[in-house]
């Protein structure tokens, strides 16, 4: 099956620094990728939809300047948490959309990134 | 608006059957997904329903009634490894971005 690679798996950083998370579709082209965050014992909250070659669409309440998304190629989307603060500590997960020849859609998730901001 | 409800937690016995319900009220509907998520890991796909009825896949089955805004996930012959969070997710229409909106998740505990 299709594979989505996300790294790093975990990162610890100091408050005020920026952290970049990469999401790659390894064996398919993904024109659309989604970024989620998840707090402990809570469900996934959609942050933004990343479209290749265009600006990301952010959900209400998500700061565009805080969470920078770049989808420069059909296999790579990046999420940069700028000037991270402790409240940004969370589990971040990406998912990539694959369309097959029958125009059926499948979604595949990366393994997630645990961000801890000190 | 979007509203997806499922029970917060459930407990069942090994070898038994458990049904996890999900009700939804969304402005657009283009399919319903069930995912399994173990703590600290990404969700894994279990099932997908877009038409009314039952979809069966091994020990897991999922049912959808679009008119009632209702779905359930049925797990048979429960095993200890089935202890996990089960997420119900509704997909928006393509002209709404086709994004997945997740419910809060149901934490299932399987006991011996």
Report d(CA B87, CA B36) in Å as an integer. 6
Residues of A in contact with B22 (CB under 8 A): none
Does B41 contact A49 at a Cβ distance shorter than 8 Å? no
Q: Mention every residue, 6+ apart, whose C-beta is less than 8 A from residue A109.
A: A4, A93, A94, A95, B42, B43, B44
- Residue A41: what pLDDT? 76
- Chain B residues touching A93 at Cβ < 8 A: 42-43
Q: Given an 8 Å threshold on Cβ–Cβ distance, is B44 in contact with A109?
A: yes
pLDDT of residue B80: 96
**Minimal C-alpha gap between A42 and chain B (Å):** 6
Contact list, B98 vs chain A (CB under 8 Å): 32, 97, 105
User: Please, are residues B88 and B73 in contact by the beta-carbon 8 Å criterion?
Assistant: yes
Is some CB atom of chain A closer than 8 A to the CB atom of B97?
yes
How many angstroms separate the CA of residue B99 from the nearest CA in chain A? Answer: 7
Res. A101 pLDDT band, cuts 50 70 90: low
- What tens-digit pLDDT sequence spans chain B (112 residues)? 678 999 999 999 999 999 999 999 988 888 999 999 998 788 888 998 999 999 998 999 999 999 999 999 999 999 999 999 999 999 877 666 677 888 989 999 999 9
Q: CB B90: neighbour CB atoms within 10 A?
A: 24
Where b means 16+ CB within 10 Å and e means fewer, B12-23 reads: beeeeebebebb
Pull the structure tokens for residue A64. Answer: 């565009």
Q: What is the pLDDT of residues A52-99, one digit of tens each?
A: 888 899 999 999 999 999 988 889 999 999 999 999 999 999 999 877
In this predicted structure, what is the pLDDT of residue B100? 82
The percent of residues above 90 in pLDDT, for chain A, comes to 63
Q: How far apart are CA B4 and CA B86, in angstroms?
A: 13
- Rounded Cα gap, residues A63 and A48, in angstroms: 10
Predicted local distance difference test score (pLDDT) of residue A115: 95
State whether residue B7 is helix, strand or coil: coil
Give me the count of residues in chain A: 118
Length of chain B: 112
Phi-psi region of A88 (alpha: psi -120 to 50; beta: other; left: phi over 0): alpha
Give the chain A residue whose CA is nearest to the CA of B6: A43
Residue A31 has pLDDT above 90, yes or no: no
Query: Number of CB pairs < 8 Å for A and B?
Result: 45
């Amino acid at each position: 099956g299709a594979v989505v690679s996300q790294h790093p798996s975990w990162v610890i950083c100091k408050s005020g620094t920026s952290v970049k998370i990469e999401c790659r579709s390894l064996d398919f082209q993904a024109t659309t990728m989604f970024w989620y965050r998840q707090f402990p014992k809570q469900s996934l909250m959609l942050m933004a939809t990343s479209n290749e070659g265009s600006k990301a669409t952010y959900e209400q309440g998500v700061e565009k300047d805080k969470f920078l998304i770049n989808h420069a190629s059909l296999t790579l989307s990046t999420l940069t948490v700028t000037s991270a603060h402790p409240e940004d500590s969370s589990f971040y997960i990406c998912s990539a959309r694959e369309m097959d020849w029958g125009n059926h859609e499948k979604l595949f998730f990366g393994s997630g990134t645990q961000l801890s901001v000190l | 608006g979007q509203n997806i409800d499922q029970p917060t937690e459930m407990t069942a016995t090994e070898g038994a059957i458990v049904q996890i319900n999900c009700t939804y009220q969304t402005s657009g509907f283009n399919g319903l997904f069930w995912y399994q998520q173990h703590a600290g890991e990404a969700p894994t796909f279990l099932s997908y329903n877009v038409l009314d009825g039952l979809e069966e896949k091994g020990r897991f089955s999922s049912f959808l009634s679009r008119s009632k805004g209702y779905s359930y996930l049925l797990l048979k012959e429960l095993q200890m490894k089935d202890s996990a969070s089960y997420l119900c997710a509704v997909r928006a229409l393509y002209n709404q971005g086709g994004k997945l909106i997740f419910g809060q998740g149901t934490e299932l505990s399987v006991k011996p």
